[in-house]
Structure 1
Amino acid sequence: MENQQLSEESLKEEIAKARVAAVIADVAEPRAKSAYYDANCDRIVIELRNGASFLFPPQLVQGLGEASANDLAEVEVTPSGEGLHWETLDVDLSIPYLMVGIFGTKVWMAKQRLVEQKAS
């Protein structure tokens, strides 16, 4: 990859564009205010900034299916509100992806579909 040098002016322009893009994404995409594991219903619950809630069973998600209740309870919301993080499980999830049903990598998701097809 070629090393590209940006002038100070170009760098400032790129930073300004990135800030605008972040503001737009913050308004247009779902952002979490909080998240927790509800052991009673075995669901990860995300409280969104807009007042809506989203929940899902951990078994649907790559890296969470075999986790203990204690590990699931260690969920953190990223500073931007765009993601969830489990330090002990080394799992990071995108809230916009979760909300459209993307619960893992493409390969992992394909394997899950094969398992579901065989079971039905």
Structure 2
Amino acid sequence: MKNNNKGEQELIEENLLEEIAKAKQAWQEAEATEPRAISVKYDQDQDLIVIHLKNGSIFSFPPRLAQGLAEATPEQLADFWIPPSGKSIHWDSLDVDFGIPELVRGIFGTKSWMAELGRKDGQSTSKAKSEAARKNGKKGGRPKNVTL
């Protein structure tokens, strides 16, 4: 449908310019507040993905925590790229992509991956965990939740 009314056309153009200004403002705010990578490396000695952020901080995590990286070889882990925006990291050979803000927030995969990761951590045993369980058992088990 053609728009023959000049007033309506100017209004549409004005709205478009407003939307462009809003988008630029949102981009500037994201650039100033969201974590952006300036470099990434795989540290094979420590088995860590190390991300240097634009704000000067450094974030790292073991690849075993991240969906799609747990079984990767050191060569595959070292073969990644980050776009100029620094918003994400990509492992093409593994078909794995992560957003930097999500990684910094501790999101290492899909909801189901994260739930399974939590289950595995909950099942882990240690001397301290065993001792705490024995101690709680002597008291009658885990304390009940009290609702007021």
TM-score class normalised by the smaller sequence? 0.7 to 0.9
Task: Pick from 16, 21, 24 the counterpart of residue 26 of structure 2.
Answer: 21
Which of 63, 66, 80 is the aligned partner of 1:61? 66
Contact (CA 8 Å) 1:37, 1:75: kept in 2 or not?
Answer: no
Partner amino acid, structure 2, of 1:23 = Q
Q: TM-score, normalised by structure 2?
A: 0.71
Q: Which runs of 4+ in 1 moved over 6 A?
A: none
Of the two, which has the highest radius of gyration? 2
CA contact (8 A) 1:36 1:46 kept: yes
Tell me whether 1:117 sits opposite 2:122 in the alignment: yes
**Secondary structure of 2:55's partner?**
coil
Q: Higher relative contact order at CA 8 Å, sep ≥6: structure 1 or structure 2?
A: 1
Q: Distance in 2 between matches of 1:9 and 1:89?
A: 45
Q: What secondary structure is seen at the aligned counterpart in 2 of 1:45?
A: strand
User: Is 1:97–2:102 an aligned residue pair?
Assistant: yes
Distance 1:21 1:114 in 2: 37
Deviation sequence 1:54-84 (CA, Å, 0-9, x none): 1110000001111111111012122211111
Over 3 Å counting, the alpha-carbon distance change for 1:11 and 1:90 in structure 2 is farther
Separation in structure 2 between the aligned mates of residue 16 and residue 86 of structure 1, nearest angstrom: 34
Secondary structure of 1:11's partner?
helix
**Structure 1 CA distance, aligned partners of 2:85 and 2:60?**
19
Aligned-partner Cα distance in 1 for 2:43–2:99: 19
Q: Which runs of 5+ in 1 are unaligned?
A: 1-6
| 1:53 Cα deviation after fit | 0.9
Q: Does 1:49 align with 2:18?
A: no
Return the structure number with greater helix share: 2
* TM-score under structure 1 length normalisation: 0.86
Alignment partners' CA distance in 1, 2:71 and 2:13: 49
Q: What amino acid does structure 1 have at the position aligned with 2:92?
A: E
Report the structure, 1 or 2, having the larger strand content. Answer: 1
Number of residue pairs aligned between Structure 1 and Structure 2: 114
Aligned residues: CA RMSD: 1.4
Percentage identity across paired residues of the two chains = 51
Question: Deviations 1:65-118 (Å, cap 9, x if unpaired)?
Answer: 111111110121222111111111111111111112111111110111122223
